[in-house]
Structure 1
Amino acid sequence: MGEIVVVYELDKPMAKRSSLGIPAGEERPVRKVHAAPSSTGPRTLCGKDTFAMETAYWKPSEHPGAPWHPAEYASVVCSDCDAVIKT
């Protein structure tokens, strides 16, 4: 497999909560962590469109021997992307 990039599928922005004073879109936690080929097309390895995803600063090629994703997001890694990488 060629080089990959890590992309984050983010939660949708929150609606404004005037009673709490939190502006809309203030926090967008990571919903899923996906892998995408760095050189071909706008789709993840599991087939999702990357248009609305955010590219991670984590580069698997800079961390030999480590998982392909940042450790802090291990609980939200896309199982389909992970399966493709492990094959």
Structure 2
Amino acid sequence: MGGIVVVYELDKPMTARSSSGTQGGEQRPVRRVHAAPSAPGTSSATGPRTLCGKDTFAMRTASWRPAEHPGAPWYSPQYASVVCPECDAVIET
């Protein structure tokens, strides 16, 4: 398998409010962390589908690069609770 790119499936936008009660920018929490094969000829762009088969079009590419963290999991530890089990199983095999 070629390179892996970590992508975030984002939740619906939530409007953030500052402590003064005014509306701030929109936040989109990470719903699920997926792995996708890199697009041919690049190590940072994703292919069209994740390893579990979801479309990557609306997903955000993570700054976490598995190749930069030898011995660490393919995902950022801060998102361990929302890792896609199907993507994780494909990587483990």
| Percent identity of equivalent pairs | 74
Q: Say if 2:35 is the partner of 1:35.
A: yes
**TM-score, with normalisation over the residues of structure 2?**
0.81
Partner of 2:44: none
Partner of 1:3: 3
Following the alignment from structure 2 to structure 1, what is the Cα–Cα distance between the partners of residues 92 and 63? 22
Structure 1, unmatched stretches of 5+, are none
Change (3 A) 1:15 1:66: closer
Partner of 2:70: 64
Structure 2, unmatched stretches of 5+, are 41-46
Following the alignment from structure 2 to structure 1, what is the Cα–Cα distance between the partners of residues 16 and 92? 41
Following the alignment from structure 1 to structure 2, what is the Cα–Cα distance between the partners of residues 14 and 27? 5
SS across alignment from 2:8: strand
Partner of 1:22: 23
Change (3 A) 1:16 1:65: closer
**TM-score, with normalisation over the residues of structure 1?**
0.86
Deviations 1:33-82 (A, max 9, x none): 00000125310000000111000000000111100000000000000000
Following the alignment from structure 2 to structure 1, what is the Cα–Cα distance between the partners of residues 14 and 70? 37
